[in-house]
Amino acid sequence: MLLALPAWTGEPGDAPAAVAARYSAADVRARGTETALAAAVAGVDPWLAAELSRAWPAHGAGLADSLLVAADQPAPTVADLASLDVPAGVACCTDDPIHPSEIARTWVDALPRAHLGTTTLAALGADRESLGRATVLAWLQARSTR
């Protein structure tokens, strides 16, 4: 398995990614996509602003609903993860407050055959393949250990 940027384990609750998605959905509903997007990209790295500016409008009128579905979707529990005896590469950005590295570490600790790969948001901004590469390299390491 290749797993990048896990955001929570089990129910989302107040996980940062869930809170951000709920807030963004409320803002889209209250002020519209264009105004909410302008607020969302203010002060973020240009690469992230470009990604959000590409992705959000593509959802059209379903953006707020899509954000809420994502915010309320349970992730695998620790018990679920522990039952998966396959090589797993899990990757995170060590400086990502929305997808905390502690969650990725929890997933790796729960999965019987997992390895953690890391990168940073700055590296991801400079090289969009860095996260995928970290994930695949972690999987290769997990595959070689039994």
Please indicate, yes or no, whether residues 65 and 109 belong to a single structural domain of this protein: no
- The H or E element containing residue 78 is helix 78-82
Domain of 52, in residue numbers: 16-72
Please indicate, yes or no, whether residues 84 and 68 belong to a single structural domain of this protein: no
Please indicate, yes or no, whether residues 113 and 54 belong to a single structural domain of this protein: no
* pLDDT tens sequence across 77-115: 999 999 999 999 999 999 999 999 999 999 999 999 999
| Residue 2: pLDDT band with limits 50, 70, 90 | very high
* pLDDT tens sequence across 33-87: 999 999 999 999 999 999 999 999 999 999 999 999 999 999 999 999 999 999 9
Q: Are 125 and 38 in contact (CB under 8 A)?
A: no
Please indicate, yes or no, whether residues 68 and 80 belong to a single structural domain of this protein: no
Distance of CA 88 to the CA centre of its chain: 16
Please indicate, yes or no, whether residues 106 and 88 belong to a single structural domain of this protein: yes
Q: What is the pLDDT of residue 146?
A: 64
Q: Output the average pLDDT for the chain.
A: 97
Q: What is the pLDDT of residue 118?
A: 98
Nearest to 60 by CA among 87, 28, 35: 28
Q: What is the pTM of this model?
A: 0.93
In this structure, are strands 88-93 and 114-119 parallel, antiparallel, or unpaired?
parallel
**Tokens 């039994």 identify what position?**
146
How many structural domains compose the chain? 2
Distance of CA 17 to the CA centre of its chain: 7
Q: Are 126 and 32 in contact (CB under 8 A)?
A: no
Residue 10: CB atoms within 10 Å: 13
Residue 100: CB atoms within 10 Å: 20
Please indicate, yes or no, whether residues 21 and 47 belong to a single structural domain of this protein: yes
